[in-house]
Structure 1
Amino acid sequence: MKALSPIQKLRQAIFFGFMCIAATPLVSYSQKSNASLFDGKTFKGWKKVGGDAPITIQDGMIVGEMTKGTPNTFLVTEKLYGDFILELEIKLEGTETNSGIQIRSHIDSTSHASRRWMYGKQVEVDPTPRAWTGGIYDEARRRWLYPLDLNEQAKSAYKTNAFNKVRIEAIGSVTKTWINGIPVAHLIDTIDREGHIALQVHSIPAHLHGAKVYFKNIRFQTENLKPQEFPKAIYVVNLTPNQLSSTEKNQGVELLFNGQDAQSWRSARSMQFPEKGWTIQDGQLRVEKSDGAESTNGGDIISKARYEAFDLSFEFKLTQGANSGVKYFVTLKEETVGSAIGLEYQILDDKNHPDAKAGREGNRTLASLYDLIKANKPERALNPIGQWNRGRIVVTPDNKVTHYLNGEKVLEYVRGSQEFKDLVALSKYKDWDNFGLAESGHILLQDHGDEVTFRSIKIKKLK
């Protein structure tokens, strides 16, 4: 199937209602370093784009009325902004609606003049049970960048049917968010160093017609910016390829692939890196396409170091019909002819590779614990073939294991539990003694004869 262009994706998202954000009118700002963006009386400096939801001024507040039959409506600043600190209060009626604050965002200049759309980063306001308020979404482009599965403690910050204080710091490539004083998201992004700010009035189903969203006490600072203290333990999403931020370094994160060489890796068959089948180019580690079979070309590669409890993250890019995997607790003691044995985060083109229909109940699909537990992933969690996806595996010292895909939690289990042993007994691993229970092991990238590319491989030892 031909891939949709970014504009086609945006239009499709709007008309089918799966986008998570809506914007309200924006206001111009004073040149003072800390000034009100909104004078409580006029919309000077703001313009409305997108849908036709009414946006008015009532009692000194910006009020958006969600309207059936119209797409997301945005009230956008006429000016573009780079670095800033934005604080405001927002209230949503009910627990089924949605809103957000666009930052460093853009207006689609190719869309019809009477119906202009927005794309770019948005700080989510989500009163639903999912509770992702303060997370960061990329409207009409890359989708979720920082869902709150990455910081579950912050899910309780939002207060239903009440005004919530939002703080957003966008300084350089770093964006941080707070809800009611609680730190939520820490994102390092590589694009959009300036853009519009917008308030969103989201599209809604008919039964929510008339629900309102309120914005007040909008404060905006562009000079003398002083970042607020942010807990270093909160997970950082760093979209700069093969780089560690100072915060990540302070957290103890290390690069397993530096984008230049394979100094942390060797063949699963020898102490050397494979002479063929794997290439390093343009900051990417690629297993080359061969015959589609396990470990028949360059073979699997493993980390030189062994790990016990850890937080492993990686980016991967699939080609059509491709199969690979990231294995952990690999010991090589089984001395297999094909791929080495270990717990596996499956990497697969679910739509075009037959393995997705094998196994039991989908337990060989992308991000699953291969042949054991199916990944519970919504469609939105997966980026298309040819685009980068972010995987993550967390193993805590108590043997709890969690798989993530693009920041969303897709499965969890406990190594050595009775439930785990029962699943192994039903799997292809039933004949291996103590499968998956090694105290430590290597990280493995699989050669399955298909072209798959990796980058930004990072690991943190957990204690």
Structure 2
Amino acid sequence: MVWRIAFLVFASLPLAGAAPPLAAPAQQAEPWQDLTPRDVLAGWHRNGGQARFEVQEGELVGRAAPGSENSWLVSDARYGDFILEFDAKTDPSLNSGVMIRGQSRPDYRNGVVHGYQAEIDPSPRGWSGGIYDEQRRQWLYTLGRNDAARRAFRSGDWNHYRVEAIGPRLRTWVNGVPAADVVDDTDARGFLAFQVHAIPDASRQPEVRFRNVRILTENPARYALPATAIEQQGWLSNRLSDAERSAGWRLLWDGRTTAGWRGVQAAGVPKGWTIADGVLSVTGGGGDLVTTRDYRDFELSVDFRLTPGANSGIKYALDPAKLKAGTALGLEYQLLDDARHPDAKMGRHGNRTLGSLYDLIPARNLSDPASPGKRVNPPGEWNRARLIVRGAHVEHWLNGFKLVEYERGKPGFRALVAQSKYAGNPGFGEAMQSPILLQDHGDRVDFRSIKLRELKGEK
């Protein structure tokens, strides 16, 4: 009992080398429970690779095993709604993270640990505090648009984390700076787990350390921190969160009907488009689908699922005269199975691959140049395309990574057009407003959670 009291007093003190725990709005004492693993690791078990976990002077130490797969120290207990705080310090060469509401079951990839993870990323990319869906959908919230959180992490030093998992909402802070805000209803309950990431280098054994781990499970919503200014990423299928609505998002497709959409050459919806179980599918042969109204400056988010070898696209800045005549000529966010469709090897320098500005600018990993490959979920799994059009400025994003950024109408852009299949079309891609189009290229492609917010007056 004396030891327990001493620990609680110590845990309430400011931490050397780390930001103090954030103050919650409630006035009464917060009912924290100590979760720091102890010498015999009682209440925890290992899963995954061969990394070593041990306790040294009150700190959990995970030491990487060269050639091993990811290793985890998993809580025996499972948690639903909670607030979790901990300090973490990792070797600058070792990625790590803490699983929240983690999962492991025999019928999913032979029991691999998977689910939500609060990232510890000491690389130059600096996405610590982002939320990664381990062994499933990959990134749910990158820090590609949160520079303040990227700067908050101190590589090689102790960092204080706060994670709020309340209902379908997951929020993170790093050293007091808001990092991620996700709404997702895939997992409502699961275990906690400390990760030691796999490493390829057999010459050394870098380590990650955790200390002052505590959890609050008694009415955590009472102690949740106020709303923050960072954007929220919603992953509810064909639904918007309250925060998304407040930010101006609205569903461009309602998930049930074809309201707000029509064929390019007809008032109705062309054949080949079907709706089932909240998914809008094109099977090919009927023609493209466009919105019934025009959009000017906007941010568009579309979840899409390719079939093997599929080709499609999201078109914008359509030529109004040609559209009136029944031809959809405009800029295109390419949707393609790069591994199987021959178009990936055509064009110039890969400018017909997934995420590219079709036939003009190839997709490149602009968010993480040190890792040039795109982060793509394979055919049969969902990906998220994001398109930002603000005047002449346009960006293509895929699964949280920026792939394309350009200024249309400028000399460089027009030079690209002159070398493309669009040469000979004056003003190509420079229409300031037009409908948004989902392309029928003859292949099966699925869409859902199509949402848009207009950027009126935004810089």
- On the 8 A contact 1:45/1:78 being kept in 2, the answer is yes
Aligned to 1:310: 298
Pair 1:88 & 2:104 matched? no
Amino acid in structure 2 at the alignment position of 1:265:
W
Pair 1:174 & 2:162 matched? no
Alpha-carbon distance in 1 for matches of 2:218, 2:175: 23
Alpha-carbon distance in 1 for matches of 2:119, 2:37: 24
Amino acid in structure 2 at the alignment position of 1:403:
H
Pair 1:457 & 2:457 matched? no
- On the 8 A contact 2:80/2:190 being kept in 1, the answer is yes
Q: After alignment, is 311-320 or 416-425 more displaced?
A: 416-425
Alpha-carbon distance in 2 for matches of 1:337, 1:450: 25
Structure 1 counterpart SS, 2:79: coil
Which one of 317, 331, 334 corresponds to residue 329 of structure 1? 317
Q: Deviations over 1:375-404 (max 9, x none)?
A: 12565611111221111101234x321111
- Assess, with a 3 A threshold, how the Cα gap between structure 1 residues 357 and 286 changes in structure 2: closer, same or farther: same
Alpha-carbon distance in 1 for matches of 2:452, 2:65: 46
Q: After alignment, is 42-51 or 334-343 more displaced?
A: 334-343
- On the 8 A contact 1:286/1:453 being kept in 2, the answer is yes
**1:103-114 residue pairs with structure 2 within 5 A?**
103-109=100-106
Deviation (angstroms), 1:243: 0.3
Alpha-carbon distance in 2 for matches of 1:287, 1:458: 18
Amino acid in structure 2 at the alignment position of 1:230:
A
Q: How many residues align?
A: 419
Alpha-carbon distance in 2 for matches of 1:111, 1:210: 30
Which one of 371, 377, 384 corresponds to residue 383 of structure 1? 377
- On the 8 A contact 1:331/1:442 being kept in 2, the answer is no
- Assess, with a 3 A threshold, how the Cα gap between structure 1 residues 371 and 323 changes in structure 2: closer, same or farther: same
Aligned to 2:71: 73
Q: Deviations over 1:209-233 (max 9, x none)?
A: 232211111110011213212324x
**1:359-438 residue pairs with structure 2 within 5 A?**
359-377=347-365, 381-397=375-391, 399-438=392-431
In structure 2, the gaps of 5 or more residues are: 1-29, 366-371
Aligned to 2:123: 128
Alpha-carbon distance in 2 for matches of 1:327, 1:254: 19
**1:176-191 residue pairs with structure 2 within 5 A?**
176-191=171-186
- On the 8 A contact 1:49/1:116 being kept in 2, the answer is no
Deviation (angstroms), 1:193: 1.0
**1:272-291 residue pairs with structure 2 within 5 A?**
272-290=267-285
**1:237-256 residue pairs with structure 2 within 5 A?**
237-256=233-252
Q: After alignment, is 377-386 or 118-127 more displaced?
A: 377-386
Aligned to 2:23: none
Deviation (angstroms), 1:264: 1.4
Aligned to 2:98: 101
Alpha-carbon distance in 2 for matches of 1:192, 1:183: 22
Alpha-carbon distance in 2 for matches of 1:348, 1:419: 25
Alpha-carbon distance in 2 for matches of 1:73, 1:452: 36
Which one of 354, 361, 371 corresponds to residue 342 of structure 2? 354
Aligned to 1:64: 62
- Assess, with a 3 A threshold, how the Cα gap between structure 1 residues 368 and 238 changes in structure 2: closer, same or farther: same
Alpha-carbon distance in 2 for matches of 1:76, 1:364: 43
Q: What TM-score does the superposition give when structure 1 sets the normalisation length?
A: 0.85
- On the 8 A contact 2:316/2:437 being kept in 1, the answer is yes
Aligned to 1:17: none
Amino acid in structure 2 at the alignment position of 1:229:
P
Q: After alignment, is 354-363 or 240-249 more displaced?
A: 354-363
- Assess, with a 3 A threshold, how the Cα gap between structure 1 residues 208 and 138 changes in structure 2: closer, same or farther: farther
Amino acid in structure 1 at the alignment position of 2:257:
D
Q: What TM-score does the superposition give when structure 2 sets the normalisation length?
A: 0.86
Which one of 219, 226, 230 corresponds to residue 229 of structure 1? 226
Deviation (angstroms), 1:108: 4.1
Q: After alignment, is 272-281 or 451-460 more displaced?
A: 272-281
Which one of 248, 253, 278 corresponds to residue 257 of structure 1? 253
Deviation (angstroms), 1:78: 0.6
Amino acid in structure 2 at the alignment position of 1:93:
D
Aligned to 2:214: 219
Structure 2 counterpart SS, 1:107: coil
- Assess, with a 3 A threshold, how the Cα gap between structure 1 residues 72 and 109 changes in structure 2: closer, same or farther: same
Deviation (angstroms), 1:311: 0.7
Alpha-carbon distance in 1 for matches of 2:346, 2:374: 23
Aligned to 1:16: none
Structure 1 counterpart SS, 2:144: helix
Q: After alignment, is 337-346 or 68-77 more displaced?
A: 337-346
Amino acid in structure 1 at the alignment position of 2:338:
D
- On the 8 A contact 1:183/1:230 being kept in 2, the answer is no
Structure 1 counterpart SS, 2:322: coil
Alpha-carbon distance in 2 for matches of 1:319, 1:183: 37
Q: After alignment, is 163-172 or 43-52 more displaced?
A: 43-52
- Assess, with a 3 A threshold, how the Cα gap between structure 1 residues 50 and 386 changes in structure 2: closer, same or farther: closer
Q: Percent identity?
A: 45
- On the 8 A contact 2:262/2:270 being kept in 1, the answer is no
Amino acid in structure 2 at the alignment position of 1:311:
E
